[in-house]
Structure 1
Amino acid sequence: MADTQDPVTTLTASCLCKSTTFTVSIPNSKLPIPTHLCHCDICRRFHGTFAAFHADIPPPIGLNYDTLTSFETPCAVRYFCSTCGAQVLDRAKEGENWCVSTAMFNHKDVDDIFEYTAHIFVGDTKDGGMSDWLPSVKGKELKRWKTTPKGRGASDEELPLYWRATAPPKESAKEDRVHAHCYCNGTSFYLHRPDPCKMSRELAEKRISPRDPSKWIAKVCACDSCRLAAGAQLVPWAYVSKGHITQANGEPFEVTFGTLKAYRSSPGATRTFCGTCGAQCHYVRDGEDIVDISVGLLDAESGTRVEEWLDWQTEKLGYPEDAEGSGLVKACAEGLKAWGRRVERRKEYTS
């Protein structure tokens, strides 16, 4: 009698430090797996990124809970690596419904496994967030839902490309500091406007926007280390001088404060994350003045891109060579350039 069992594809996931590894076996008949980018405030605060890259999967195999820290939200339990902070998995509180951060798999292994179909909870971003940089992936348009896809949520409202809930921030309306915090608020701090007098001339020229000296330079990184540490394929960073960061209690910046834990990801480099909820916070190299701040933690009135504070570098992603062969990362590089050209035209029109 012929074997009618559906062949399976087995994938191996791991975090940055490799303390957490597991496999997932997916019937080939279920491939590719529909995958969405969730832009909700909860996911943003947990990852420290603009969005979470999530796909529903069968229960993971070989998962060692001893290497993980869990954090409960009203509808799910989230698991992150206790050592490096990588946001790995979510499990619904009821049943065995699992959701994986697709960044935990190697790009080349999964480019045809996960099919990106939609942006959800774009309404939480106020300015469209990363959905404006990823209008399509591998030639397929991604729907942009205010909350959840049609038939699954309260609004079912589809949003257009370059949607904004608020007008673009006015250049004259600039606060002198912006708050940043993780989901559980165990990590809370402020960024301040650039002051060249507090930095070396070389750093000021590299990290303060040459177009608007009241803004810091920001960039999206696609390197493997950031991907595995944050649990997201695309990680937005703001590059800020230490003297322009203060803790919520007014104390100056330190590598660890509040609920932060540190992980030495490479010689001379430290990544930090909240030990309670797992949010990626910052990256800093020994002896250097610049701190890479997770933009997903910033809390600006204008929206998640924090355009009144940050000058986004749109011509190139950081370390795109690490993501060679990734349709997702290639699409973001193209979408980011298109968005950057649009922003420049808008400035010319309003000036």
Structure 2
Amino acid sequence: MSTEEQVNLTAHCLCRKHTFTTSVPRSSLPLPAYLCHCNSCRHLTGSLFSTDVPWPGSPSNVDLSGLSVYKFSDKLLVHFCGTCSTPLLFSHPQDPNAQHGVFTGTLTNEAQKLVNIAIHIYVGDTVDGGASMWLRHPNGDGKEVKRFKERPGDAETGTSGEELPHDWPSPSSLTGFDKKSPEDSVSIKCKCGGVHFRLHRYPHTDKTGDQLPWFVDRTTHKYKAAQCGCDSCRLSSGVDLFSWTFCDLAQISFVDGADTKTFPKNKAELKTLVDAKDPSAGTLKYYASSPDVQRYFCSSCSASVFYAVDSRPNLVDLAVGLLEASDGARAEGFLAWWFGRISHRDDTKGGWREKLVECVMKEATEWREARGYPEV
């Protein structure tokens, strides 16, 4: 009988209505993680990727009955908290004996290193490389993690196994900091399509300097975008580092031809629309993660959509992963990124995510400098 020391693993949702625990031998840590950049995962989480690791033990020992379910594909189901939106687990309906996958953002931030990013998959879907550009060396060991256009060669799925070279994509193919993409608006859409709006460019291009709000870049008039490492954002999305942009609600509209209404201009109107279950809101729902904060998400597929706080009545944080921009996942033609900045990173201190944040901040800064992008 083995006497090897066991380490407890705990995953829970933001509202803590659902908690899952198991144990693994210490020698099996860190668990290998797949970091997926595919279009579906971005629109499922609202971030630029999803990350999961196998949940140790038999799937028959995991009670999923209290969770909401979304059919991600014929081979995968997503199990999420219907109250606070946290996606917790993937299951495999065609193979009931296959281990579940747990979203790494739901794991507690233990001092023991729980997760090691082993591979990037479906990076080709991003067009511009997405977040893989600053997640090449995420584990703190100096080793570069391989990036695949799809995934390693798999006869069952028919994937080619094409590994992307270090210099993909070519810098000349990127929109860059100064240029804008041709479209005047971009789609905001969750995985299931139940939430579908449009984001329009900042309209007051005649304003300069201090005339501009803090969330608009003074040079390009693009909306600023950044990553957040706070516990609430990672738990609500299941992603360890979440990507947000910021805009006035006045720059969001309903989808062309879908509704003749004007989109709510402040958070009170938005809340009223959702509370009334107005059809124009689609499947949008919110969870009050604190008395003055509402986190909006899709009640069907769990995608994070908006973050709203009472102190900013006309402004919302908008999930970057939901944008459908012609130039790629980072939507550089619309957004000016705070490369190297991760807000609320103190939440990661003392745990395994602290090293991840350090690596990402360093690599994002180096990538920005190599591209010649200025700080925003």
Same fold, TM exceeding 0.5? yes
Give, in whole Å, the separation in 2 of the partners of 1:26 and 1:198: 59
Is the contact between residue 11 and residue 105 of structure 1 (CA under 8 Å) also seen in structure 2? Answer: yes
Give, in whole Å, the separation in 2 of the partners of 1:168 and 1:197: 23
Query: Deviations 1:243-291 (Å, cap 9, x if unpaired)?
Result: 0011223531334321011100112110011011111111011252111
Residue 102 (structure 1) shift: 1.1
1:240 aligns with 2:247: yes
Is the contact between residue 59 and residue 96 of structure 2 (CA under 8 Å) also seen in structure 1? Answer: no
| Cα separation, partners in 2 of 1:172 and 1:204, compared to 1, 3 Å | closer
Partner of 1:22: 20
Give, in whole Å, the separation in 2 of the partners of 1:120 and 1:83: 30
| Cα separation, partners in 2 of 1:308 and 1:89, compared to 1, 3 Å | same
Map 1:62-141 to 2 at 5 A.
64-72=63-71, 73-93=73-93, 94-96=95-97, 97-110=99-112, 112-136=113-137, 137-138=139-140, 139-141=142-144
Partner of 2:228: 221
Partner of 1:337: 365
Partner of 2:148: 145
Is the contact between residue 117 and residue 141 of structure 1 (CA under 8 Å) also seen in structure 2? Answer: no
| Cα separation, partners in 2 of 1:239 and 1:345, compared to 1, 3 Å | closer
Partner of 1:294: 319
Q: Which amino acid aligns with 2:240?
A: Q
Q: Which amino acid aligns with 1:108?
A: E
Percent identity of paired positions between Structure 1 and Structure 2:
33
| Cα separation, partners in 2 of 1:167 and 1:99, compared to 1, 3 Å | same
Query: Deviations 1:291-339 (Å, cap 9, x if unpaired)?
Result: 1000000001111000000000114211111112422221111111112
Counterpart of 2:372 in 1: which secondary structure?
A: helix
Partner of 2:44: 46
Match of 1:267 among 254, 277, 291: 291
Give, in whole Å, the separation in 2 of the partners of 1:345 and 1:204: 20
1:158 aligns with 2:183: no
Query: Deviations 1:183-208 (Å, cap 9, x if unpaired)?
Result: 11000000001023999x97833011
Give, in whole Å, the separation in 1 of the partners of 2:373 and 2:357: 25
RMSD over aligned Cα, in angstroms? 2.6
Counterpart of 2:341 in 1: which secondary structure?
A: coil
Residues paired across the two proteins, number: 342
Counterpart of 1:264 in 2: which secondary structure?
A: strand
Unaligned 5+ runs, structure 1: 347-351
Is the contact between residue 152 and residue 159 of structure 2 (CA under 8 Å) also seen in structure 1? Answer: no
Q: Which amino acid aligns with 2:146?
A: K
Give, in whole Å, the separation in 2 of the partners of 1:289 and 1:118: 40
User: Once structures 1 and 2 are overlaid, which stretch shifts more, 122-131 or 144-153?
Assistant: 144-153
Give, in whole Å, the separation in 1 of the partners of 2:241 and 2:336: 17
| Cα separation, partners in 2 of 1:140 and 1:63, compared to 1, 3 Å | same
Partner of 1:307: 332
User: Once structures 1 and 2 are overlaid, which stretch shifts more, 180-189 or 8-17?
Assistant: 8-17
1:282 aligns with 2:306: yes
